[in-house]
Amino acid sequence: MPLRIILTTGGTGGHIFPALAVAESLKSKAPDAEILFIGGTYGPEREIVEKADIAFVGLPVRGFIGRGLKALGALAAMSNSIGQAMNILREFRPSAVMGFGGYASFPTMFASWLLRYPCAIHEQNAIPGEANKLMGRMAGRICLSWPQPASRPAFKKEKTVLTGNPIRAGIARLGASPAPQGTSPVLLVMGGSQGARAINNMVVRMLPELRAAGIALVHQTGKNEFEAVRAGYARLGIPDEEISATVHPFIHDMPSVYARCSLALCRAGATSMAELAAAGVPAVYIPFPYAAHDHQTANAQAMQDAGGGILLPQPKAEDMSGKNELAGFVLDILKDGEALARMRMGALSMAHPDAASSVADELLNLASSQKADR
């Protein structure tokens, strides 16, 4: 039987891009393998996955935690999606299935367990999400981005392997390149694939000081915030041409951006952090304060402990922004070449440039060593 692999996740780029990095590695290791990506119908995954030339099937799944009465409809959709996933698996007959977290992965992972197909999960964050904690009990292999705490491990030790967070090959290679050299420091602003309104607002408020200091910006706003941020730039009298060159709803070619930026101001999502670490980009991390289990703060704390970034809690950042102190804070970092060099080395120390290859190897080993009991 030919090698057939199903990858499943969705919702945000933080889940989707590690899966695509593993798909990229699988194609190089097993060129004849058939890869199918199963995600949600309502997220950005279809567009991103099909752009990567990978077969995609969408399920009508929605998250139901914290949705009030809408949770009843979401539960019905989840049940329907599990049934659809079972039909897809019976037809595709995968050699192995791997989930990358998020509610969009649950129907396919649960269906693979019910049908006794070998399955694995990858956990991006220092603190696992609910879907992965549940599926970790059923998975044969669990790939981790961060070491488990010895005091409260979320998964059985014998199932886990520390691989790091998979990143695309073009980004993984950046760490071997020298630090950016240029006349003007470049500040990258991003709030993950969906953007971050709080960070966007802070940056618009800082624009006069940043531009006066000669700082070039690359600003990924997120789709929903794009027009509001453009309007904020325009109110300051910034020409349309400069706005178009600076402000983007989403950036597909991140390797070229990472290669020239001096510092990032961003959220602390695991995938963004893995990419920044691999590229050796220093960062000021403003974790999303309402993330499940506050996992972004745990992510950022680990990076700060390694010297690769600065953890700046959102309430403190907003207070500094309100007092017009945040721009000075960012500019002081950008002007300190020695500090940036130290942070670059700290970030690189947290990098796992071979993570995609390691995860692909674990998945291929699982596929070859565990045969589905038909």
Does position 373 have pLDDT exceeding 50, yes or no? no
d(CA 367, CA 313): 42
> Residue 257 — pLDDT band, cuts 50, 70, 90?
very high
Which of 60-74, 102-116, 198-212, 327-341 comes out lowest in average pLDDT? 60-74
List the domains of the chain with CATH numbers: 4-166+354-369 (3.40.50.2000), 172-349 (3.40.50.2000)
| pLDDT higher than threshold 70 for residue 65 | no
Q: What is the SS3 assignment for the chain?
A: CCCEEEEECCCCHHHHHHHHHHHHHHHHHCCCCEEEEEEECCCCHHHHHHHCCCEEEEECCCCCCCCCCHHHHHHHHHHHHHHHHHHHHHHHCCCEEEECCCHHHHHHHHHHHHCCCCEEEEECCCCCCHHHHHHCCCCCEEEECCCCCCCCCCCCHHHEEECCCCCCHHHHHHHHCCCCCCCCCEEEEECCCCCCHHHHHHHHHHHHHHHHCCCEEEEECCHHHHHHHHHHHHHCCCCHHHHHHHEECCCCCHHHHHHHCCEEEECCCHHHHHHHHHHCCCEEECCCCCCHHHHHHHHHHHHHHCCCEEECCHHHHHHHHHCCCHHHHHHHHHHCHHHHHHHHHHHHHCCCCCHHHHHHHHHHHHHHHCCCCC
pLDDT on residue 8: 97
d(CA 288, CA 311): 11
66 confidence band (pLDDT: 50, 70, 90): low
For the record, the structure tokens of 248 come out as 């983007």
More confident residue, 191 or 80: 80
pLDDT digit string, tens, across residues 144-187: 988 887 767 889 999 999 999 999 889 999 988 887 776 789 99
Residue 195 pLDDT > 80: no
Round to whole Å and give the CA distance between 202 and 200.
5
C-alpha to C-alpha distances, 148 to 151, 153, 289, 336, nearest whole angstrom = 9, 5, 22, 34
- The answer to whether the predicted template modeling score (pTM) of the entire model surpasses 0.85 is no
Q: How are strands ordered across the β-sheet holding 283-285?
A: 247-248, 216-220, 186-190, 263-266, 283-285, 309-311
Is-contact 308 269, C-beta < 8 A? no
**Per-residue pLDDT tens over the stretch 279-329:** 999 999 999 998 877 889 989 999 999 999 999 999 999 999 999 999 999
Note the residue count of the chain. Answer: 374
Q: What is the pLDDT of residues 26-41, one digit of tens each?
A: 999 999 999 999 999 9
In this predicted structure, what is the pLDDT of residue 63? 64
pLDDT exceeding 70 applies to what percent of the chain? Answer: 94
Report the candidate in 242, 183, 188, 241 with the shortest Cα–Cα distance to residue 213.
Answer: 183
Among 277, 304, 320, which Cα is nearest to 165's? 277
Average pLDDT of the residues of the chain: 91
CA triple 249-123-58, angle to 5 deg: 55
Q: What are phi and psi of 178, to 5 degrees?
A: -70, 160
d(CA 177, CA 309): 19
Q: What is the pLDDT of residue 194?
A: 66
pLDDT 10s digits, 68-104: 556 677 788 889 999 999 999 999 999 999 999 888 9
**Radius of gyration over every alpha carbon of the chain, rounded to an integer in angstroms:** 21
13 pLDDT tier (thresholds 50, 70, 90): confident
Of the given ranges (62-66, 212-216, 342-346), which has the lowest mean pLDDT? Answer: 62-66
